[in-house]
Structure 1
Amino acid sequence: MKKIATWTILACASSLAGCTGAAYSNRSLESVHQPVVRNSLYQFDVATANGELPPSEQGRLQGWLDAMGVRYGDRIAVEDPSAYGASSAQATVRAMVERRGLLLSREAPVTTGAVPEGYLRVVVTRASASVPGCPNWDSKSSLNSANATSSNYGCAVNGNLAAMVADPNDLIKGTSDTGHDPLAATRAIQTYRTKPQTGAAGLSKVSTGGGQ
């Protein structure tokens, strides 16, 4: 009987140790599932002619930007290897980018290969955020003798944060305050306050008689 009781106690202890394994290792309120930001670089070379961007190259660049689906959060820069710089061609690229509601970055990232002579390189940096390892349902049992968080703790909050953030790079380093216009911020409220109320002019008279 003593041997049977001993083996029973060992079996119970082993099962409890299995339940309180890696799935119940985090005893803090800081989630182990954190967003991971990845930056991908896409480059496109366009030819210049006498420092300007020909219409044919503008069409090629326009088609590439359409195919890339550039959007808010993408960083677009121009790499110009020429000594004096093709300012007119850069201005054309800047205008094409601004028509999409974006701004041209001042500094271009390091790209693969050298830019050919007489060409400009347009670089799009696109950031994406995700939470690897989510969802995680390893801790299926409700038994938690370690008083730790579940294996899926933080997946919902951080997963939604990674999916909804406009610029994933803000998860690494938030944008600095570049100044704001308080008048523009309160313009909608001021318009709401100064707009006449709908019932101030009285009720409109509506005839109920049918036309003869």
Structure 2
Amino acid sequence: MNTNKPLATGILAALVLGLAGCGFNGIDQAQYDAARVHPISVQPDVATLNIDVPPGQPGLTAANRAAVADFAASYRERGHGPLTVSTPSGSPNAATATGFLSDVRDTLAESGVSGDMLAYTPYSASSAERAAPLILSFKRYVAKASACGDWSTSSATDYRNLPPPNFGCATQNNLAAMIADPADLLKPRGMTPADADRRNTVLEKYREGESTATARSDQDSGAVSKVSQ
């Protein structure tokens, strides 16, 4: 007869009771996740830039070019689909706005937005709009987490050992504010092509028994700062 069986059963029961005392009273609480309680919503949005076009103005001003360059940088970081350039139709400055397109294309190209990334479309403008704007726009995504500030429970009087309702909310809001492109929360980005030249170089060196590490220049240094030495 195995006299250790009751002892083993008692130890197992003690372990179960000990785990129950950790505060997990169900699978939902055991799998608590701030991302589920304070989810980040990702919604499409349209970023726009209006460039005023006074009748007779020969082209973009320096301020206009700077604004277009900044807009192009935002497009390269978070843009999805083409960057659309909309010109007014029916306004007194329609011809002048069309003349702006060359400057706009040049400024965008200098900022890394090539012609195949652009789309053009007219929009109806009132005949009273003497300076109807030329409009640049692109699709982007914005992220927003749930509002924080739920202090409805008190840890001093709640003995269930559960996370408070506000737990993790600030972290989720910080993540929503800091992420470079909220579209990454919807699906991963595609991989860029491999560097075939570098791969062949590494393979050749490997076959020859040479070091495959990139050569370091005199400007490179991995030494620790000697300020405190």
Q: TM-score normalised to the size of structure 1?
A: 0.48
More strand by share: 2
Higher relative contact order (CA 8 A, sep 6+): 1
